[in-house]
Structure 1
Amino acid sequence: MRFVRPLLRRITHGITLGVRVIAIDAENRVLLVRHGYTPGWHFPGGGVDVGETTEAAARRELKEETNVEATGPLRLTGLYFNSRFGNRDHVACYRASTFTCGPVPAPGFEIAEIGFFPLSALPQGLSAGSARRLAELAGKAEPSAVW
């Protein structure tokens, strides 16, 4: 049922707002998820619910999708325009510097796979938005306003 939410959100809201979380561990590995309903590897994240702050949504989605809990402050890395969803979608991206990892959830339709990947060996199929954010963090690309 949860996979229906993004579609309903687009139908019922003029503007959609989502969040993504960049979590890089002490071994310089980034946390990524592969969804069951769209190709590629992405940062964990999802939609902001009514009455919810973007930071609260980022913490919730990180925990729901990966069982990783941000234990310190989240740092907003940017607000980005995402034209893939009807030219009205925006993504607030956060960086989690400190976090704890619980047991990896079983694969499901929404999240088919979860993994930590070395920044020097990212998986094939990394989403364009995730790749841009990592390049910006590494100082290899100029900041962009586009997801």
Structure 2
Amino acid sequence: MPFDYLACPRCGEKVKAYRNPVPTVDIIIETDGGIVLIERKNEPLGWALPGGFVDYGETLEAAAVREAREETSLEVTNLRLLGCYSDPSRDPRQHTISVVFVATASGLPAAADDAANAVVFPLATLPERLCFDHRRILDDYLKNASPVTSR
């Protein structure tokens, strides 16, 4: 693995610059009639779960609540962990590790921040193509969906 090098700010000596995956969160928001997906405003374009990068000093749970609010204008509750996704190719921009949560919300989503659109999709009519690895995430979710969320 090739390493990049930085200069030590004190002495100028070359030091290894380690590259680490970037933490992100994604949220499956259950609402009356289905789940909320956003249409992305930025590359890669397409339908996706609401989510984004975890800010420094922020918990994963707080990031999930914040990203849900920022992209869908919904306040989520009943946050629970679905799983973690770490395939280095899951995001074409960089290596990310996503912690995926399931949450509930009521009301109609309104797109904001990085979302061009926010729509409630019935589980039976989810878009076939989704950004990143969100199809795999939703397949995992659907395997474990309760009868209440399977409408």
Paired residue for 1:6? none
Consecutive aligned runs of 4 or more in structure 1 exceeding 4 Å deviation: none
Query: How many percent of aligned residue pairs carry the same amino acid?
Result: 34
1:1-147 → structure 2 map (5 Å cutoff): 14-27=20-33, 29-37=34-42, 38-71=44-77, 73-83=78-88, 84-85=91-92, 88-96=95-103, 98-101=104-107, 104-105=110-111, 110-127=114-131, 129-139=133-143
Does structure 2 retain, via aligned residues, the 8 Å contact 1:69–1:101? no
Q: Which has the larger radius of gyration?
A: 2
TM-score for the superposition, normalised by structure 1: 0.73
Q: Are the structure 2 counterparts of residues 65 and 87 from structure 1 closer, same or farther at C-alpha, using a change threshold of 3 Å?
A: closer
Q: Are the structure 2 counterparts of residues 125 and 70 from structure 1 closer, same or farther at C-alpha, using a change threshold of 3 Å?
A: same
Distance 2:93 2:40 in 1: 20
Segments of 5+ residues of structure 1 without an aligned counterpart are 1-12, 141-147
Segments of 5+ residues of structure 2 without an aligned counterpart are 1-18, 145-151
SS at match of 1:51: coil
TM-score for the superposition, normalised by structure 2: 0.71
SS at match of 2:133: helix
Cα drift, residue 128 of structure 1? 5.3
Cα drift, residue 30 of structure 1? 1.3
Does structure 2 retain, via aligned residues, the 8 Å contact 1:18–1:92? yes
Q: Give the structure with the larger helix fraction.
A: 1
Instruction: Give the alignment's Cα RMSD to 1 decimal.
Output: 2.5
Letter in 1 for 2:143: G
Cα drift, residue 131 of structure 1? 1.4
Q: Number of residues paired by the alignment?
A: 124
Does structure 2 retain, via aligned residues, the 8 Å contact 1:23–1:95? yes
Letter in 2 for 1:139: K
SS at match of 2:84: strand
